[in-house]
Amino acid sequence: MPAVYTSAVIDAPVTRVWGTIRDFNALPSWHPVVADSRIEGAAASDQVGCVRAFSLKDGGFIRERLLALSDYDYCCIYSILESPMGVKNYIATLKLTPITDGDRTFAEWSAEFECDPAQASALIEQIGQGVFQSGFDALKQRF
Amino acid sequence: MIKVNRSTVIDAPISAVWDVLRDFNGHDRWHPAVSYSHIENALRADQVGNVRNFSLTGGENVREQLLTLSDKEHSFRYRIVSSDIPLENYVAEVSLRPVTDRDRTFWSWSSQFETPPGLEQEMQQLVAQGVYEAGFEAVRSIVETRTRSQEHSITSASDSKQENGTAMVVGRYGGPEVFRKELILAPPPKAGQVRIRQRAIGVNYIDVYCRSGYFRLLNPPEVPGLEAAGQVIDVGEGVTHLSPGQRVAYACLPIGAYTSVRTMDAAMVVSLPDSIDDVTAAGGMLKGITAEFLLHQVHRVCSGETILVYAPAGGVGSLLCQWARHLGATVIGATSSPRKVQAAYDAGAHHVITPGDIGLADQVRDLTDGKGADVIYDAVGHDSFAQSVAALADRGHLVSYGQASGDIGAWDIGSLAAMSATISRPNYAHYTDTQDKIASSTQRLFDAIEKSIIRVNVEHRYDLQHAGDAHRALQARETTGSTILLTE
């Protein structure tokens, strides 16, 4: 099963970074590739099980379900329900850890999924760099 | 229950950090609070269940058991079995995570424990700062230096262009026991560099000062040593004075000579004439170049002058005596040891004095019709400076080139008017910091060796891996002449 792991250091206290990314509907406010987002049905954006439907700036449409949210571990886990990427059983984890030295944040974003083996390395690159690292770069710039 | 959690980011790949931390018995080589550690019952350091038994620099004993070790997660857990420090039910975890953004390492160190009432704050601070944060800084300085260091980086063995070798590394400041043998890989030479397969390495007293921390020329873990001789493997772009296969030698900073293979700046490396073997070059470069600039540059010693040399049987002293005599000077040797009088005469001294009931200055004046010495070479320093000034002739020159007995301290320049004295304090680096300076100095030195004007006396040879024994002998003042290390 292909896996992606990306991590970075963000120069801000963990509570501030968590405050930005905790909202499952907030991708357009901080992630550079996301154009707009809404929560389906009448659910709140921190309700475990809610679904976010969002479109990318390149026109792609994606639906993702929130599987777990932890304010204690600064962590959220979600799965892809629908996307143009050609992945199945995609589950991703975004997790923050405080760095006591300098009161900074260690951010990790990882995913496991299934796909056409011929596409695996391109997908790993696209997800790891195009989605996860570009998100971290935006957060690094923001703080 | 008290919980402590500290974390940091180390600017080195996770493999480099894990390399240091994985060794459960290795903390005495990097943690400043740990003085000596061993694993009980002859178990291996990576054997889960083993107990490390160690003493802290404050003298307290601690025993800790390895509970888990994972090369996959880059983590381990351990508990305190017994401790002179009041930490009870103490379980800790060390865990590393890769920071893929710029290939760094996130390191978390956490624990929970109990302690008698009233000590909570003190123990929490001790663990968080005295152990964890101090450990972060120690490992940071090791791996960040190591990762940056071109010459001694422990890099991927899969790179076929690397040359394998063995180096003796000073793991931390201390006695001769702090040496450890490490496999090293010398990278291909970059522009202006040369890579040398070394045969013989000179051992100098300055190496002892580097190892003990008296001179901060060395930052552990680092390879000491200033001089060596060997054969060129290859040269980098722009290096025209050296070529592969050529025999070469050097005596210069930066340190790093205690190794069988080395990549370094080529400008300071000179080719060796066939008449000078590797052992002579390694044992004589540093001392010989020193004698060369002391006698020909700091002061041009002329026929008819009287010179006084301290430690005339020592490494530099014996070369000064031989060479000055050849230049036509009258040489007086001053030694504190009656055992070394004969060696001083053998080195070429016309007169040898052993200051005792009669002071040095009076003895020198007795030998010079009351005039005193025209030039004095003094590396003793604190204990000799005043009597050296008193032994100078009018318009004499005191060359202070070391302070083996300690710092000289402040002196009133006005007092030198009594004999219009000149005082020099030469530094080796300023006479050897360009290719031209090195070339002219070594040419004169090699010429003097070839013509038997001076003889480099290499009396003691050790295998490179026994560098610690060489230092022991040097510190015990058991040696005469030069000491060298030989590679296989």
B227-275: pLDDT as tens digits:
999 999 999 999 999 999 999 999 998 999 999 999 999 999 999 998 9
- Flag residues of chain A having pLDDT under 70: none
The backbone torsions φ and ψ at residue A95, rounded to the nearest 5 degrees and listed phi first, read -135, 140
Non-local (6+) Cβ contacts of B60 within 8 A are: B83, B84, B85
Q: State residue B159's pLDDT score.
A: 42
Rounded CA-CA distance B405/B192 in Å is: 39
- Residue B389, pLDDT > 70, answer yes
If one compares B480 and B112, the residue with the highest pLDDT of the two is: B112
Closest by CA to A136, choosing from A111, A113, A106, is A106
Bond prior to B221 in cis (omega within 30° of 0): yes
User: Is it the case that residue B410 has pLDDT exceeding 80?
Assistant: yes
pLDDT given for residue B406 in this prediction: 80
pLDDT-based confidence at residue B158 (cuts at 50, 70, 90): very low
Does position B146 have pLDDT exceeding 70, yes or no? no
Indicate yes or no: CB of A99 within 8 angstroms of CB of B106: yes
**Omega before residue B254 within 30° of 0, cis:** yes
**Sorting pLDDT into bands at 50, 70 and 90, what band is B105?**
very high
* Residues of B in Cβ contact (< 8 Å) with A9: 9, 99, 101, 104, 106
Contact A9 B97 (CB under 8 A): no
More confident residue, B215 or B249: B249
Least CB–CB distance from B97: residue in A98, A102, A108: A108
Query: Closest Cα to residue B109, out of B89, B132, B131?
Result: B132
- The percentage of residues in chain B with a pLDDT greater than 70, rounded to a whole number, is 97
A106 with B5: Cβ contact below 8 A: no
B314 has a pLDDT exceeding 60: yes
Chain A residue nearest residue B129, CA to CA = A101
The pLDDT mean for chain B works out to: 91
Residue B148: per-residue pLDDT? 52
CA-based nearest residue in chain B for residue A101:
B8
**pLDDT tops 90 at residue B161:** no
Q: What share of chain B has pLDDT > 90, as a percent?
A: 72
Q: What is the pLDDT of residue B147?
A: 59
C-alpha to C-alpha distance for B48 and B71, rounded to whole angstroms = 12
Residue B294 or residue B46, greater confidence: B294
Is the predicted pLDDT of residue B150 greater than 80, yes or no?
Answer: no
What gap in Å lies between CA B156 and CA B162, rounded to an integer?
9
Q: Which of B8, B98, B133 lies at the smallest CB-CB distance from A7?
A: B98
Residue B9: strand, helix, or coil? strand
Contact B381, B362 (CB under 8 A): no
Q: How confident is the model at residue B196 (pLDDT cuts 50, 70, 90)?
A: very high
Q: In this predicted structure, what is the pLDDT of residue B203?
A: 95
- What pLDDT does B153 receive? 40
